[in-house]
């Protein structure tokens, strides 16, 4: 049974739906609350971080028809906190008459690394050379095409360094293919980059866009460790990043906040590493470094509100707290320049993101 479309912009007192109940969902819910909106969270895990700060919590699989109907009955618009939401769930919400933002194209592109890089190249956003493979022989041929060494990644799933292997020469490609499960993969040429940057951008329902200052990012073991923002960057680099963001947002007919990871090459060119159709870890610095942070910006966009200002009001070093590092919360709380953000996860596991700190300095 289809229902009437939501009246936009969502007025204070309306309910916004979120697929996913982790830390990103929690910070989205907190931002929505500041704007007077209620939140309904659908998440398979009971008592998750987002559920405990939301007005409504539905515990069920993402593609559970009854749960999706319950979410639709509550929410005027639905968004998501991560890009691996089942496409079938979004399709069912659309059949019911609920709008999901960002839209299905953003999910389709971001859920498959080959589709993603093909889309980026087609829309004037350059990447490293790449090739797909669906068998050991194709993996070997792909190495010959893109050159060695190359990074082999599963086409779907995988995050924080999971689901990927470096392949140093063609004969090793078949073994790496098997180690990654024998499913479809993508081979990406090595990028001799100078540093990793990211840009957080937003697009409203009326097509208006806004971009945040660049962040410089440092990873350890495939996991983001810290971001420095605003990054020191030449105007030509900033211009490139903003052009890339504009092309991606327009090409996806996007609504909401998106994270775009970039490689800055030695000659100053920017290549896109990947996109994330959601609020992004490298944008956490905006919570204390900008007038309107990425979470409020996303809520504004999907709810049909005008976008807020994105200029920096402070310089920030964002550091992820992994595993037991969050046990140092009291020491961190004593640091006058440190803003502590803990996610409310019940169990600390090695490498698990339990929170982050923003160390704030004047511009």
184-228 pLDDT tens trace: 999 999 988 999 999 999 999 999 999 999 999 999 988 999 999
- Report if pTM > 0.85: yes
Q: Is the pLDDT of residue 2 over 70?
A: no
Give residue 161's pLDDT band: very low, low, confident or very high (50, 70, 90).
low
- Conformational region of residue 52, where left means phi above 0, alpha means psi within -120 to 50, and beta covers everything else: alpha
Backbone angles phi, psi at 154, to 5 degrees: -60, 145
Q: Of 62, 74, 106, nearest to 257 (Cα)?
A: 106
pLDDT given at position 251 = 98
Report the chain's mean pLDDT, rounded to a whole number.
95
Q: Say if residues 78 and 71 touch (Cβ distance below 8 Å).
A: yes
The span from the CA of 63 to the CA of 353, in Å, is 26
pLDDT in tens, 244-282: 999 999 999 999 999 999 999 999 999 999 999 999 999
User: CA dist 335 to 88, 268, 284, Å?
Assistant: 46, 37, 19
- Residue 315 exposure: Cα atoms within 13 Å on the Cβ side: 7
Q: Would the pLDDT of 1 be above 60?
A: no
* Alpha-carbon gap, residue 178 to 157, rounded angstroms: 16
- Nearest to 123, CA basis, from 137, 111, 135, 106: 106
Q: Can you give the pLDDT at residue 70?
A: 97
* Per-residue confidence (pLDDT) for residue 222, from 0 to 100: 85
Domains of the chain: 15-100 (3.40.50.20), 129-189 (3.30.1490.20), 193-361 (3.30.470.20)
pLDDT at 338 over 80: yes
């Amino acid at each position: 049974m289809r229902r009437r479309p939501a009246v936009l912009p969502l007025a204070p007192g309306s309910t916004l739906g979120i697929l996913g109940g982790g830390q990103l969902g929690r910070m989205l819910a907190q931002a929505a609350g500041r704007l007077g909106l209620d939140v309904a969270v659908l998440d398979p895990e009971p008592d998750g971080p987002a559920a405990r700060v939301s007005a409504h919590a539905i515990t069920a699989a993402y593609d559970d028809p009854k749960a999706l109907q319950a979410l639709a009955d509550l929410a005027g618009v639905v968004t998501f906190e991560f890009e691996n939401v089942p496409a079938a769930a979004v399709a069912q919400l659309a059949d019911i008459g609920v709008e999901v933002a960002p839209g299905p194209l953003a999910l389709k592109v971001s859920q498959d690394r080959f589709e993603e890089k093909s889309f980026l190249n087609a829309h004037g956003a350059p990447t490293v050379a790449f090739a797909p493979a669906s068998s050991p022989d194709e993996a070997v041929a792909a190495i010959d095409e893109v050159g060695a060494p190359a990074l082999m990644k599963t086409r779907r799933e995988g995050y924080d360094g999971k689901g990927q292997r470096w392949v140093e020469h063609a004969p090793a490609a078949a073994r790496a293919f098997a180690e990654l499960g024998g499913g479809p993969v993508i081979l990406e040429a090595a990028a001799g980059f100078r540093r990793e940057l990211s840009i957080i951008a937003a697009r409203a329902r009326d097509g208006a866009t806004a971009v945040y200052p660049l962040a410089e990012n440092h990873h350890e073991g495939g996991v983001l460790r810290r971001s420095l923002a605003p990054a020191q960057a030449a105007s030509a680099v900033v211009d490139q990043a903003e052009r890339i963001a504009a092309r991606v947002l327009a090409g996806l007919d996007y609504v909401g906040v998106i994270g775009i990871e970039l490689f800055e090459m030695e000659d100053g060119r920017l290549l896109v590493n990947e996109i994330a159709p959601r609020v992004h870890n490298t944008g956490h610095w905006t919570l204390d470094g900008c007038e309107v942070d990425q979470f409020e910006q996303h809520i504004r966009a999907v709810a049909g509100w005008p976008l807020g200002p994105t200029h920096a009001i402070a310089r920030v070093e964002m550091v992820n707290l992994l595993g037991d590092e969050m046990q140092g919360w009291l020491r961190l709380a004593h640091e006058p320049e440190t803003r502590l953000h803990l996610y409310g996860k019940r169990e600390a596991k090695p490498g698990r993101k339990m929170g982050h700190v923003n160390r704030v300095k004047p511009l």
